[in-house]
Structure formats: structure tokens, C-alpha cells
Structure 1
Amino acid sequence: MTSTVLFDFSGTLFRVESAESWLRSVLGTAGSVLPEGEVARTAWALEAAGALPGGASPVRVPDELAGLWEARDESADLHRAAYTGLSRQVPLPDPALHEALYDRHMEPAAWAPYPDALQVLSTLRERGVRVGVVSNIGWDLRPVFRAHGLDAYVDTYVLSYEHGVQKPDPRLFATACAALGADPRATLMVGDSRPADGGATALGCSVFFVDHLPAAERPDGLLPVLDLVG
């Protein structure tokens, strides 16, 4: 019987805003101006570059960024360097906007929970199921959960940059299970990445995958979790 559930963050419980929303927010805050026709084109270029954390993967990682990209979730500095490096592949009206874009993606307002996230997390809490969040990330996502009212349903957070280890390394999942006093064989890992989240199977965890889609396009992708947990 499953007694513990581990969730990924981006693409699983939360989805980041669109690249265009991301860019418009930063341009507005900075008082920078792009011709209206250029906004959508620049947002598309940033998305293709993979510059928005939690958004699309890069179409191509430049050779000079390949090492950073592979290790990006192992520290806050590596994460920022990798994503601002990708962002700088796209010209912007002010070079300072690349750092501003990175800062924006860490704001709670840049994220929205999937429509069924609250129902699933609150039901698990009612059933006495302990919950952990295991994320490959370079910054503290706890304020996002607090701002959206989901922090009360999470018992522990295991974030790659705080441990210097990234999924699929089983040590990250083992850390979460230890923090929850959970037997990995009675633990379900829920995520959107088979290569990364599938690493939990090395410990004996079962896994359930969801599709990494915009929140409005995946209204009930998490609900099957409730049928998998006793």
C-alpha cells in the first residue's frame, strides 16, 4: 500500500506562465519598450532558446553552455548562469533585462497551480498520506507554494540545488523518503519527466507520469493519483 507521495514541481503541480506573459511582465516593470509586433517574436525566440525555466527545453544548447546546462540544477549559481546564458542568445533592448527575466520566473505570480492540485493535495492530507516535493531547481520554491495556499499540504521539500544532486540520481529521492520516514517501496513518485522522475524506481518507488502542458489544458491530470494511494 502506498503511504507516501512525492511530487515534482514544474509541469506537475505548477506550470510557469507563457513566454510572452513572462517577457511582457519584465518589459512593463523595467519601462522598456518593444514594438508590439516584436514582443511575440522575441518571446518565441526566448522560448526556442529554452530561456524560461519551467518552459520549453532549448531547441539547441550552444556548445559554450553545454556544461552549465548539464549541471544547472546542482546550485543556484549554475542555474542562473545557464538560463541567463540561454536568454542572452536573444537580443533585448537592454542587456539588464536578461537578469530581470531570470528574477521574474522566481516570483510566485509567474506560476499557477494545476486546477486539480489543491484537491489532490488536500485529499491526501485528509487520508493521512505524507507528501514531499522533489524538484530539480536552482532556487527556493517554497514561497510559490505559500503564496498559492499549497504549502500546508507539503511535509518536506527536497530541492536539487540545496543538495548538489539532481534527479534521476536516487540520492535525491532517498533524502525525501528519509525526511518523511517512508519506505520507498510504499512511495509513489509523481512527475512529468520520465528520464528525471523515473530515477525513483531505482529505490523501489512506483511512478506516475503526467503531461507537461499549460494548466488550462490539463485540468485533471493529477486526479488518478488518488486512485493509486490507499
Structure 2
Amino acid sequence: MLDENVRKFYESVQTGVVTDAMYLLGLEGWMTDVFPLRPEKRIFGKAFTVQAVRIREKGEPNYTIYDLSEKWEAGDILVVDAFGENCSLMGENIAHTCMYGGLNGVVLNGRCRDFGQISELEMPVFGKGPAMELKNKRFKYGMYQVTLANMAGAQVRPGDYILGDVDGVLVIPSDRLEDIMYQAEMIIEVENEMEDAIRNRCSVAEVKAIASKKKKARA
């Protein structure tokens, strides 16, 4: 069970702050070109992963999002890797299945149709943009709850935490949530100190001295 203070922190913190904290700890986990359908939307929760695979022959496992709605837990984030294909991976009906199925959000390495309707949903959806073409016939959803080796440039393991806002999406190892939070709290303090210095027209040397505090991990 995730500590409530940790949850509240990640539900409000900017991804840029967490990025700086991850750099300090030598961690990687940034998706490329995956953004919220509406800029004000945020996302945080535990990853439930789905991997698209190229079709080789008939009879291989082929799951639908409807099938998987009986597998995930309330509060999860559905993370779908479909190689960044330009076809639609999701429409309004599937999005409603995700939302009413208790997900905290959806992250697609791909696109969706019914973009306008889905963007208005309370549940946040992140992806690479709109598309009209239906899901590519050359791939299927062949595996779930497996490691996604290249989810828009990031590795995602089942149970990792997903954090996203208008700047993009981060992948946070579940066993490092508190470590990252500890560093991020320091970074927030430094950022506030920098803002005060800039507002008060302090010298460049003073501002740079404050900024340098972010380059060393908190003990």
C-alpha cells in the first residue's frame, strides 16, 4: 500500500522537479513525444503494461482492452506499447471501459481516435496525438504485465509508477519513490530560493550559487 503522503506528493509535484531528482540519483525513465490530450491533465499511478507484438500466425494470444479490464486493479495506469504506430489504438468506447473500469489513466505509445471526446473525459489519456485509421492489422496485443523494453524510449516494468503532466511522462521504479521524493523536496526548496533571488534582482553570481545546490544529492 502506497503511503498517503507519498501519493499526495506525486499527485501535485511537477515532472521537471522529479526529473532533476532522478538525475541526481542516476535514474532514467523518460518517454519521448507522449503528452496529455488536454494540457492541464496529470497522471499518477501504478503501471499495468500491455505489449503489442507483430503477428506471425493465427491462433496466437490476442487480447483486447475489454479482456484486460478484468485483469487490472483500480487505480492502475494502462500503459500500451504499440511501437508508436500512427493508427488509432483507442476510441471512445475503449476509453470509457478504462475509465469506468477504475483506471487512473492511460498512456499510449501510439494514437487515438475520438480525440475530442476522449480529451474531455475526467480520466487522463496520454499519447502521440489523434488518428482516424483503426488499429494496424499487422500487430496485436499479445502480452500483458510484462516489461516494456522501449515504451517511447523508456523501460516500464509492471508495478512501476507513472507520472505525467504537460511536459511529458516519467517512469519511476516502485522501490525508489521515497528516495526520489526526498531529493525532490530539496529541489523544490532550492527552486523557491532561486525564484526569490531572481525577483529581488540578486546578482548573477548569487543566483548561480543557489542553482548549484541542485547539482549535489541531498545526504
TM range (shorter): under 0.3
Identify the structure with the greater strand proportion: 2
Structure-1-length-normalised TM-score:
0.26
Report which of the two structures shows the higher radius of gyration computed on alpha carbons. 2
More helix by share: 1
